[in-house]
């Protein structure tokens, strides 16, 4: 899979994928980075300048699927559509990171609104596979032991690991799963963590409405073999949830891990008008 990082935020997250052999990582930023697929973008003054002056790179994507990661603040997002044109023959998933409102300069708020709306519209129309919305502010509240020095690195690690594990789950056969009539037009997503032991979830973006949910639960193989309460517990957890499915996976570690994906077909953005 190709992973593209755009700008400081996108590149910082995308760099976490370099340690995984499954990905070909591409970094595009105004500051130089030490990576074979790094491309320097000359700093521009405006959103439109970035779009008009985007270099004509020669890029041949390594894989048929692409994850494009970027923030919504900063004029460099003006290069988004020009950059994605180089990956137009691949299936593209957008991971859009929404910054805290009070961290955005007034000059960037209009640019934020523009890219936030445009990329959702492209996903809803089927140009992209889907778009995952992640709020830095909401995600931060789910991570313990943050300091001024480790805050963004921890946030970026959670985002990159979550996106990686979704890919792992999608390419691994579960030991058990329930069926759902998946709605293909639901292309706006939110992701979060899920703890099956207390049936709790922590979303990283709060959708205005939800059409369906899918829970991915990874459990140590030994526990799957010896815990006779798991089947009943899982059924009890999900018996009252509507429009959902869950999939259980085996792992060779000593810990459990869960992710939930919620989908909607409604355009988000009431908080950003």
Residue 194's closest CA among 177, 208, 213? 213
- For 221, phi and psi rounded to 5 degrees? -60, -40
Q: What is the CB neighbour count within 10 angstroms for residue 176? A: 14
Residues 212, 238: Cα–Cα separation, whole Å:
13
Is there a contact between 7 and 40 (Cβ–Cβ < 8 Å)? no
- 70-97 pLDDT tens trace: 998 789 999 999 999 999 999 999 999 9
The rounded mean pLDDT for the chain is 94
Per the document, the length of the chain is 273
- pLDDT tens digit sequence for 91-120: 999 999 998 876 666 767 788 888 999 999
CA 199, distance to chain mean position in Å, is 22
**Strand pairing class (257-264; 212-220):** antiparallel
The token pair at 128 is 């992209």
Question: Is the CATH number of domain 2-169 3.40.50.1440?
Answer: yes
Alpha-carbon span 116 to 270, nearest angstrom:
11
CB 28 within 8 A of CB 8: no
**How crowded is the C-beta side of 161, counted as CA atoms within 13 Å?**
11
**Distance of alpha carbon 247 from alpha carbon 24, whole angstroms:** 28
What is the domain partition of the chain in residue ranges? Answer: 2-169, 191-264
How far apart CA 105 and CA 96 sit, in angstroms, is 18
Q: How confident is the model at residue 6 (pLDDT cuts 50, 70, 90)?
A: very high
Residue 272 confidence (pLDDT): 45
């Amino acid at each position: 899979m190709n992973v593209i990082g755009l700008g400081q935020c996108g590149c910082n997250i995308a760099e976490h994928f370099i340690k995984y052999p499954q990905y070909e990582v591409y970094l595009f930023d105004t500051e130089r980075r030490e990576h074979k697929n790094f491309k320097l973008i000359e700093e521009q003054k405006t959103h439109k300048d970035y779009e008009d002056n985007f270099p004509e790179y020669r890029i041949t994507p390594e894989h048929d699927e692409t994850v494009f990661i970027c923030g919504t603040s900063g004029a460099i997002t003006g290069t988004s559509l020009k950059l994605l044109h180089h990956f137009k023959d691949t299936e593209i998933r957008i991971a859009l990171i929404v910054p805290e409102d009070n961290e955005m300069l007034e000059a960037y708020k209009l640019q934020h609104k523009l890219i936030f709306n445009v990329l959702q519209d492209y996903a809803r129309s089927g140009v992209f596979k889907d778009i995952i919305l992640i709020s830095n502010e909401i995600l931060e509240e789910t991570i313990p032991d943050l300091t001024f020095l480790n805050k963004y690195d921890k946030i970026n690690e959670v985002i990159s690991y979550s996106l990686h594990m979704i890919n792992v789950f999608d390419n691994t056969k579960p030991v058990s799963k329930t069926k759902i009539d998946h709605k293909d037009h639901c292309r706006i997503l939110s992701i979060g963590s899920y703890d099956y032991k207390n049936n709790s979830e922590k979303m990283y973006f709060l959708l205005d409405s939800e059409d369906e949910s899918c829970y991915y639960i990874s459990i140590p193989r030994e526990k799957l073999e010896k815990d006779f309460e798991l089947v009943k517990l899982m059924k009890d957890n999900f018996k009252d949830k509507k429009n959902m499915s869950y999939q259980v996976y085996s792992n060779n570690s000593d810990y459990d891990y869960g992710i939930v994906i919620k989908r909607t077909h409604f355009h988000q953005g009431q908080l950003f008008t």
